[in-house]
Amino acid sequence: MSELFGCLVFRKSFSQRPHRLEDAADVSESKTAARTRCVFCHAYSANRGGFNIVWEDADFLAFRDRSPSCLHHFQVIPKIHIASVKDLTNSDADMVRRMEEIGHSILEQHNVPHTQHRMGFHIPPFNSVHHLHLHVQALPYISLTRRLKYPVIGGFGPFEKGFSWFAEVGQTMRILERGSKVGVFPC
């Protein structure tokens, strides 16, 4: 239940556990197996896992989405296994900001006007891959169905975002910077 209500006051503390597999003092067999099974971790392995890589540096990788919702649809991932946006803390805001910069750069290389840039994260349990990935998209969407997968719902009162399974990258950074967690419910 705490997974669904992660951004509300009664959530459990996440500071008691490592949120990255690499942060654990003893990377157990189950954690190593999880990383081995992660399809996005294969993107930065030696064989590249069949990904169409468009950008890479020492910390991040970007590739074309296999089932694009827009003419230009990419994923930006960190080269460390972080399960999802719900695992991020305020210390990760700079990483998210860097992912956003990479996304803007890729879309600019494809001559996409800034007003058509959309970037964000699906929030568990509404994500399909359990490796943090920033959707980088050039609007418009190819169909109404695809558009409905990425709803950006503004916040109200003390909340940065409303009830939604998708958090826009700016919302995500502001939530993290104020020390909160990203979740499906308003946060």
pLDDT average, residue stretch 135-159: 96
Q: What was the pLDDT predicted at 126? A: 93
Q: What was the pLDDT predicted at 48? A: 72
Alpha carbon distances (Å) from 11 to 1, 6, 37, 86, 107: 9, 5, 29, 12, 37
Q: Enumerate the domain spans of the chain.
A: 23-177
Q: What was the pLDDT predicted at 46? A: 64
Question: How does pLDDT run across 71-93, given as a tens digit for each residue?
Answer: 999 999 999 999 999 999 999 99
Cβ-contact 177, 90 below 8 angstroms: yes
Q: What was the pLDDT predicted at 175? A: 97
Q: What was the pLDDT predicted at 36? A: 64
Q: What was the pLDDT predicted at 19? A: 43
Q: What was the pLDDT predicted at 34? A: 56
Nearest to 102 by CA among 140, 172, 68, 54: 54
Residue 105 has pLDDT above 50, yes or no: yes
Question: How does pLDDT run across 16-49, given as a tens digit for each residue?
Answer: 333 444 444 444 444 455 556 788 887 876 667 7
Top-tier CATH class for 23-177:
alpha beta
HSE value, Cβ hemisphere, 13 Å, CA-based, for 150: 24
Q: What was the pLDDT predicted at 47? A: 65
pLDDT average, residue stretch 166-185: 97
Burial class (CB in 10 A: 0-12, 13-18, 19+), 135: buried
Tell me what percent of the residues of the chain surpass a pLDDT of 90: 72
Cβ-contact 10, 185 below 8 angstroms: no
Cα–Cα distance measured from residue 76 to residue 84, given in angstroms and rounded to the nearest whole number: 13
- Amino acid in position 31: K
pLDDT average, residue stretch 98-111: 99
* 135 assigned to active site: yes
